[in-house]
Amino acid sequence: MNTPAGQKGTDTVKRGLAEMLKGGVIMDVVNVEQAKLAEAAGAVAVMALERVPADIRAVGGVARMADPSIVGSIVAAVEIPVMAKSRIGHFVEAQILASLGVDYIDESEVLSPVDEFHIDKWSYDVPFVCGAKDLGEALRRIGEGAAMIRTKGEPGTGNVVEAVRHMRTMTSQIRSLTLLGADEIMSAAKDLAAPYALVKEVAETGKLPVVNFAAGGIATPADAALMMQLGCDGIFVGSGIFKSGDPDARARAIVEATTFYKDAEKIAKVSRNLGEAMVGLNIDTLSPDELMQHRGL
C-alpha cells in the first residue's frame, strides 16, 4: 500500500510540469469562451489574462494582475493547466494567484513591474515561469526559483524578431560555455552576472536546467516552427491568436506547426487560408520606454 503523503513543491515536481508541456502551445485567453476554444484546438495550457499584450500596449497605464473572477472562471472551465501573470516583484499578486489554484505563475514583464527585486520563487509550491533575453538573465531567474524560462521577445507586437534574437543569444552563450575549462567558469559567471553553480551546470550539460519556451511576437504557424527549429521546447502565443481574423483556425494551425516543426509541407498545408494575421508593429518604431523586454533584468 502507498499513501500520497509525498513531498509537494519539489524542483522535480515544479520543473516536471513544464517538461509535460513541451512540444505544445500555451495560449493567452481573456475569458471562458476563448479558454475552451484554445483547449479544443489542442493548447497544452492557457494563460488567463484581463487583456492580451497588444491591448495592454494600446491601453497604456499600469498593467496589473487579472481580476480573480476571470482567473477563477477559467480555472473552473478547462481541464488543461491554467497559468496567470503577476507583476515582477509583486509577491502578493503571486500569493493570490496561488490561492486561486493556478498551475503556473508567469512573473511577467508584460505587466508593470513593482520592484527592482523579483519574487522569491523558492517559497511557493506553485511553479513560476520567467522571461529572459539572454543566458545571464535566464540563470538569475532560475537562481530565484523559476522552474521554466521563456524568451521575452517583444510582447504584443506580432513581430518575432526579438524572440529570435533572444533565443539565438542564449544558444550561442550556452555553446560558448561548453568550451570553457574548469578554471574559466568563475570568470564567466561574473560576466554573465549569474550564480556560479548554475553556470557550471550549463557548461557541463550544454543546456538550461529547465524547459525554455519561445514567447513575444509569435503570430503565424511559420513563426512557431521557426522558434522550434531554433531549439525552443514549445511556444507561447499571446495576442497572435485572438487578435487575428480567424482565431480557431489559427490556433489549430499553430499547434500543428509546433508538432510538425521540421515538416515544411505540413506547415505549408496548415498555413493556408487562415485569414488576416494580427497587425504587427515594427520594433524600431517603438520608443525605448515602450519596449517591455527591458523591464526586470
Partner 1 sequence: MPLVGALALQGDFREHLTMISDLGAEGVEVRTPEELADVDCLIVPGGESTAIGRLATRYGMMDPLRQRIRAGMPVLGTCAGMIFLGSSTTGRAQPQLGVLDVVVERNAFGRQQESFEAYLDVKGFDRPMPAVFIRAPWIEKVGEDVDVMATVSDPTSGREFPVFVRSGNVIAISFHPELTRDARVHELLLSLVGSVNDEER
Provide the annotated active-site residues. Answer: 85
Q: How many CB atoms lie within 10 A of CB 210?
A: 21
Q: How far is the CB of 228 from partner 1 (least distance, A)?
A: 12
Q: How many CB atoms lie within 10 A of CB 85?
A: 29
CB burial of residue 271 (10 Å; 0-12, 13-18, 19+): middle
Nearer to partner 1, 6 or 61 (CB): 6
Q: How far is the CB of 107 from partner 1 (least distance, A)?
A: 16
Q: How far is the CB of 190 from partner 1 (least distance, A)?
A: 33
Nearer to partner 1, 103 or 144 (CB): 103
The site for partner 1 (CB under 8 A) is made up of 1-10, 12-13, 16-17, 19-24, 39-45, 75, 79-81, 98, 101-104, 125-127, 255-256, 259-260
Q: How far is the CB of 119 from partner 1 (least distance, A)?
A: 16
Do strands 45-48 and 25-29 pair parallel, antiparallel, or not at all (unpaired)? parallel
Q: CB of 132 within 8 A of CB of 170?
A: yes
Long-range pairs for 188-197: beta carbons < 8 A, 24 or more residues apart? 191/136, 192/135, 192/136, 192/139, 193/136, 193/140, 194/135, 194/136, 194/139, 194/140, 194/143, 195/139, 195/140, 195/143
Nearer to partner 1, 21 or 54 (CB): 21
Please, how many CA atoms are within 13 Å of residue 149, restricted to the half-sphere of its CB?
26
> CA-CA distance, 237 to 28, in Å (whole number)?
6
- For residue 23 the three cell numbers come to 512540444
Cβ-Cβ contacts under 8 Å for 170 (sequence gap 6 or more): 132, 134, 135, 138, 151, 208, 212
Q: How far is the CB of 217 from partner 1 (least distance, A)?
A: 22
> CA-CA distance, 133 to 137, in Å (whole number)?
7
Nearer to partner 1, 3 or 287 (CB): 3
Nearer to partner 1, 96 or 297 (CB): 96
Identify the helix (H) or strand (E) that includes residue 39: helix 32-41
